[in-house]
Structure 1
Amino acid sequence: MTKLSQITRLFRRDEDGTALVEMAIVAPFVLLLSAGVFEFSNILNTRLLLEAGVEDAARYMARCSGDWDTCKGLAQNLAANGAVDGTSARVTGWLPAQVTITKTSTAAVDPDTGTQLYLSSKSTVDVVTVSTSYTYPDVGFWSYLGFGDLTLSVAHQERVFGW
């Protein structure tokens, strides 16, 4: 037997350091998976904050009894900042100007099917729609995987009964 084959046989039987080799193989995948979980949870949290802001603004507009333009500005602040006075941002980089608020008159009864859509003594009801689109500023993991910019879009409607 040659000296090299003896060393090789001893090396195969020796289990010292196998945990280190296994860890060196598995660690990059675990770190990549962890980074993906953190990035996804941050995206989900941002979307939930955008939804909460849009819903708050729609409820505010549905009940506002003042001037439309004044209420609209206050509702945009409420959506983006969590307060009508605009104290602190819900989501970094989300501005009140990115919140779109529209009011439409909708038939209380669907003319095609006759289904009653809204309880109302009038034939039409006013519905306010608040929507926004926000480009998610990723920390690099999303774009590293080859995905483009991620745009989160949310909208909410409420029946107006404040005017």
Structure 2
Amino acid sequence: MFIALRQFLRGFHKDEQGAALVEVALVAPFVLLLSAGVFEFSNILNTRLLLEAGVEDGARYMARCNDSNWSTCVTLGTNLAVNGAVTDGSPRVTGWTTPQITVTVAHNQAVDGSGNQLYLSSTGIVDVVQVSTSLPYSGIGLWGYLGFGSLNITASHQERVFGW
């Protein structure tokens, strides 16, 4: 029996038929996983860039808003951040809504305690508006499938106030 098996296996010794099929069968899962990983990472990066662009647009708008009512400026600025327009528009990122945006205004000193000038200003106080957001990532699922858990993408931007 062992002699028959040995002779059978010797027949494959110099036979190269099907070698490419075996190589493809071994390599294909890794190439597909790598491709899916590249797609997932680029989707995460694209979402982050869209969030950053939104909060930057919103902060710039609010910093230069000359409406006498601050709440109107915040409403229009957050809508600009999420939808790309102060009224209506289409969402930049699926699932991103205006309640997920946080707007804060800080009254910063133009000069710090050591005498370093932080802001060029004729007054001692400078108003700065900061817009930030956090969005749970819901992509194609490879991230969760690999066991990395949930991912929150955050972005923030601050602008010195020139309006008001």
- When normalised by structure 1's length, the TM-score is 0.96
Q: Which runs of at least 4 in structure 1 moved beyond 6 Å after TM superposition?
A: none
TM-fit CA distance, 1:4 = 3.3
1:7 matched to which residue of 2?
A: 8
Structure 1: distance between partners of 2:27 and 2:121: 63
Structure 1: distance between partners of 2:60 and 2:97: 19
Gaps in structure 2 of 5+ consecutive residues: none
1:88 matched to which residue of 2?
A: 90
Q: Which moved more, 1:81-90 or 1:51-60?
A: 81-90
Residue of 67, 70, 73 corresponding to 1:68: 70
SS class of match (1:58): helix
- Partner amino acid for 1:55? E
Structure 1: distance between partners of 2:4 and 2:154: 69
SS class of match (1:12): coil
- 1:79-137 per-residue CA deviation (whole Å, 9 max, x = no partner) reads 001111132000000001111111111000002x1100111111001000000000001
Gaps in structure 1 of 5+ consecutive residues: none
Structure 1: distance between partners of 2:107 and 2:85: 28
Structure 2: distance between partners of 1:2 and 1:160: 89
Structure 1: distance between partners of 2:48 and 2:88: 20
- CA RMSD in angstroms comes to 1.2
Structure 2: distance between partners of 1:7 and 1:13: 12
Q: Which moved more, 1:79-88 or 1:33-42?
A: 79-88
Structure 1: distance between partners of 2:97 and 2:136: 12
TM-fit CA distance, 1:3 = 4.0
2:149 matched to which residue of 1?
A: 148
1:107 matched to which residue of 2?
A: 109
